[in-house]
A and B are shown apart, each in its own frame.
Chain A
Amino acid sequence: MKDRFEAKNPRSMMLRFHTQTAGCTLTAQQPENNIVRVTIQALAAVLGGTQSLHTNSFDEALSLPTEKAVRIALRTQQILAEESGVADVADPLGGSYYVEWLTDKIEEEAMKYIEKIDEMGGMVRAIEAGFPQREIQRSAYEKQKKIDEGEMTVVGVNKYQIEEEIELEILRIDENMVRKQVERLKKFRESRDKKKVEEALEKLKKAAEGEENLVPYILECIKARATLGETTDVLREVFGEYQAPQIF
């Protein structure tokens, strides 16, 4: 921000970030082990100086999290914050030879990608050419291959497996909820001033065809009690829909 965009305010140069523990690491097998994985991941986030954190619930490879699983995930953060001592000093790993070497290395390799994307004419062009999508696909393939061949351990999945019947309290969505939602929507549509809705949507359409900032127009539609779908339909009409390029 400082060098490339000549920002002057130090706040413009801060990288504030949220972290979530990686959902793809959760296993359906021996799901309780996920509590330990999440703890390690949360520790990494905190050592990295995150501003906010979501810790995954251990049952998420199987279903939406139950209240108990969510509570354990939250307690994991509370234990880190209030028992572990990791929050008592700024950047406890700063100066670690290994960490600093890794940081430099990641920075160096990431800069190579950024320069390449600049050469391609920026990220929009790179996406249209399928570049980042392809790079990620390649990494995903290599990682899966390592897991399949046992070169990379996933405890409980390709090593230390057990015979088990997974007994978990699973949260399911009740079909009645869907009916209730659709009924509420119907009543909402019937009880509003239709003319006001149409006027607001028409104004949004005109603005979308021009170059003005659309947020105030969308806010007017919402206040006039247009639905999310109706507002989006107007934009669909003006902007069209995207078809993903064939990449592979």
Chain B
Amino acid sequence: MNKKEWEEKYLEPFLKKAGERKKEFITASGFLVDQVYTPEDIDLDYESSLSYPGVYPFTRGIYPTMYRGRVWTMRQYAGFGTAEETNKRYRYLLEQGQTGLSVAFDLPTQIGYDSDHPMAMGEIGKVGVAIDTIEDMQILFDGIPLDRVSTSMTINSTCAQILSMYIAIAESQGISRDQLRGTVQNDMLKEYIARGTYIFPPEPSLRLATDIIMFCAKEVPRWNSISISGYHMEEAGATPVQEVAFTLADGITYVERVIERGMDVDAFAPRLSFFFAAGNNLF
């Protein structure tokens, strides 16, 4: 029996007796969903479409053992008030078994205003921690071994300043920059598309973003120099298709720009990372 025969012989008579809950079933991307999927619905060559974990095209995962070797990094995004309060929250999360840190900065920090600037009024410490100086950064990571945790920082327009502070406090603790592990978001394009914390026009923003990618490739080799993000597009209302498409198109732009500036693709591409949203529809 094939799918068409099943539909004629079993499905249609059944539908005549008992209808379905809805006229049509639609995914978050607007695809109409059939009652069932079968081998006939997919054009699948196992080796080229899926292959094995740890093997190109990595559809089944990027490592041969996936979570059997080590589970994903549990990384709770946190930050509020001043560096002292946030530092306490980080220590609490690490005590509770969290395995990576993720820093939320307040809006003034994200758009480059110090806490005493009129533009910062009413926003200090609200959606994240306020960081003005290298001293604030020192307090934020006080007592946290920077050579042993990985730290993700949601920072874009002022990414170079924040990354510099992180490198500087690590070096003052005797930890060299090539030992540091973590991620900076550094994805300026999605700021214009969906998130909104841009400062400069797109061209200088792209220059800064590629400066950071190139700097990290040479000097901070274990650091993810960008997290190309679809999450904020999804939060702004994008469908999964739009989230995937626009995020990859942003990624293509960064890769093109760095190559244009003379760096070999394999010298920086292994350190590109991505960031997506998981919504209510499991699929």
Residues in A lying within 8 Å of B, measured CB to CB = 1-2, 4-25, 37, 40-55, 64-65, 67, 70-71, 73-74, 77-78, 81, 86-91, 94-106, 109-114, 117, 122-124, 126-128, 132-133, 135-137, 139-141, 143-144, 171, 173-174, 177-178, 180-182, 184-186, 188, 213-216, 218-219, 221-223, 225, 227-233, 235-236, 238-242, 244
Instruction: Verify if B250 is at the interface (C-beta below 8 Å from A).
Output: yes
Q: How far is the CB of B31 from the nearest CB of chain A, in Å?
A: 6
Q: Are the C-beta atoms of B273 and A16 separated by less than 8 Å?
A: yes
Q: Which of B71, B73, B165, B203 contacts A87 (CB 8 A)?
A: B71
- A225 pairs with B134, CB closer than 8 A: yes
The range of chain B's interface size is 35 or more
Cβ of B14 under 8 Å from chain A? no
Contacts of A104 in B (CB 8 A): 42-43
Some 19 contacts from A to B, beta carbons below 8 A apart, are A18-B183, A18-B227, A49-B60, A67-B92, A74-B74, A87-B66, A91-B60, A91-B61, A96-B37, A97-B39, A106-B240, A122-B253, A123-B252, A128-B202, A140-B236, A181-B136, A235-B200, A242-B199, A244-B192
- Docked Cα-Cα span, A74 to B90, in Å, equals 13
A228 with B274: CB separation less than 8 A: no
Residues of B within 8 A of A9 (CB): 266, 269-270
Interface pairs A-B: 5 shortest CB-CB: A140-B237, A232-B112, A229-B114, A113-B245, A12-B269
Report the Cα distance A37→B133, complex, angstroms: 38
Contact yes or no, B208 A214, CB < 8 A: yes
Inter-chain contact A185/B266, CB cutoff 8 Å: no
Cβ distance B51 to chain A, nearest Cβ, rounded Å: 10
Please report B residues at the A interface, Cβ cutoff 8 Å.
27, 29, 31, 36-39, 41-44, 49-50, 53, 56-62, 64-68, 71-78, 80-82, 85, 89, 92-93, 96-98, 100, 102, 108-109, 111-117, 124-126, 130-136, 152, 157-158, 160-165, 167-168, 183, 189, 192-194, 198-208, 211-212, 214-215, 224, 227, 231, 233-242, 244-246, 248-250, 252-253, 255-256, 259, 265-266, 269-270, 272-280, 282-283
The answer on a CB contact under 8 Å between A110 and B245 is yes
Residues of B within 8 A of A112 (CB): 245
Interchain CB contact under 8 A, A139 and B102 = no
**Candidates A55, A177, A242; contact of B202 at CB < 8 Å:** A242
Q: Given the complex of chains A and B, what is the CA–CA distance between A106 and B97 in angstroms?
A: 36
